């Protein structure tokens, strides 16, 4: 996943490691930051724009992946996603983009 590689490039370690070390000050690429943080979002905000952008990109991609996996479960149960999307959107890209909206139709 490109978002994971971008996150690692900016932060100096993986998203999982960043979550585990959220209460430690700084990160490998920005060790001088002081303070303890309760969550990764707040730490990213404190570290600066590039860190927060990498965090948001990772979270956005992670959520889309989870939506597609959830949608796949509904498709296994018989949900016809093709009838809910225009023919031009019958691609994996658009399925990922529209997964959250399609899940609302399933609920």
* Structural contact between residues 21 and 30, judged by C-beta atoms closer than 8 angstroms: no
CB atoms under 10 Å from CB of 34, counted, come to: 7
pLDDT of residue 51: 93
Global confidence as pTM: 0.77
> What distance lies between CA 41 and its chain's CA centroid?
12
pLDDT of residue 34: 67
Q: Please state the domain extents for the chain.
A: 2-106
pLDDT of residue 10: 92
Give 1's pLDDT tier (boundaries 50, 70, 90). low
Please state, rounded to an integer, the average pLDDT across all residues of the chain. Answer: 88
């Amino acid at each position: 996943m490109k978002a994971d590689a971008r996150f690692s490039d900016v932060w100096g370690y993986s998203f999982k490691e960043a979550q585990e070390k959220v209460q430690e000050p700084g990160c490998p690429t920005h060790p001088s930051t002081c303070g303890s943080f309760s969550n990764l979002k707040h730490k990213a905000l404190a570290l600066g724009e590039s860190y927060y952008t990498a965090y948001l990109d990772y979270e956005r991609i992670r959520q889309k992946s989870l939506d597609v996996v959830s949608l796949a479960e509904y498709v296994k149960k018989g949900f016809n996603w093709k009838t809910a999307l225009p023919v031009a959107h019958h691609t994996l890209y658009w399925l990922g983009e529209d997964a959250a909206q399609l899940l609302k139709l399933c609920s």
